[in-house]
Amino acid sequence: MKRLCVLVLVAYALAAPVGAQEPLRVVARVFEPFSYLVDGKPAGLEYEILRYFAKAKGRELEVTWVDTFAELLPRFEQGDLDIATGTVTITAARAERFGFSESYFPVRVIVVEPRTHRTRDLADLAGETLVTNADTTYEELLRAGVPNARFVYAPDEEAALGVLDRGEARAAAVDTVLGLVYLPDFPDLHMTLPISDEQHYGFVVGHGSPLASELSEHINQLKAAGIYFRLLEEYLGQEAVEMVRAAKE
């Protein structure tokens, strides 16, 4: 298997085009561990996937950074970018606005609340204060499922869990993988009620862009070479690797 991975890597590298090309222009949400900066240098799972892609295409990776999810897709729609990334769930509504690569990670949305509570139905949260992130699938699902909820907003998922941990809201909702990443820092919180079917993160491109199929092929090549799973373990841990393998079964 190791020899096969090496051969795939060599073949992939040889396929890279030669000669100067336009940079690959990406807008990314600053969001550890997916795309972020360490001492001014970019890192993260999504960033690394795109770095390998740009290298294979013989293009420089040029990243524009935004701070919140609510900024990400509007910034992409300004029309001077090739790809948007920032844990964007592929939904039917978004697919009307954008093109997408194939999934690079499976997720479900799940309720997070204090360990003193275990919600079994969203309707049980009626009238409560919920913390969420604007323009996300979390907000959409909570608004649809919780009657008369009051909402407070946080800039990202980690901040939302902080609001919840301080007792300023009754519950939140996050993607399962983010629960794995952040909940160790909030031992008084836990994940309880799943409120979505399996969903998928994808890279956003323009409608009709060849980048959709090219990125999809690239993701499959990284998986075949073993690079994808190494990156998963490095940035998200072994549990994330197991989540991906379980989703394929």
Do both 90 and 119 map to the same domain? no
State the CATH number of the domain containing residue 208: 3.40.190.10
Do both 212 and 98 map to the same domain? yes
Partners of residue 31 on adjacent β-strands: 35
Do both 116 and 152 map to the same domain? yes
Do both 31 and 100 map to the same domain? yes
The CA-CA-CA angle for residues 76, 175, 37, to 5°, reads: 55
Do both 87 and 141 map to the same domain? no
The CA distance from 200 to 108, in Å, is: 8
246 pLDDT higher than 90: no
Tell me which amino acid residue 130 is: L
Q: Please give the residue range of the domain that contains residue 115.
A: 109-194
The number of distinct structural domains making up the chain is 2
Q: What is the pLDDT of residues 147-205, one digit of tens each?
A: 999 999 999 999 999 999 999 999 999 999 988 889 999 999 999 999 999 999 999 99
**Residue 137 φ/ψ, nearest 5 degrees:** -65, -30
Q: What is the pLDDT of residues 228-237, one digit of tens each?
A: 999 999 999 9
Do both 97 and 145 map to the same domain? no
The CA distance from 216 to 211, in Å, is: 8
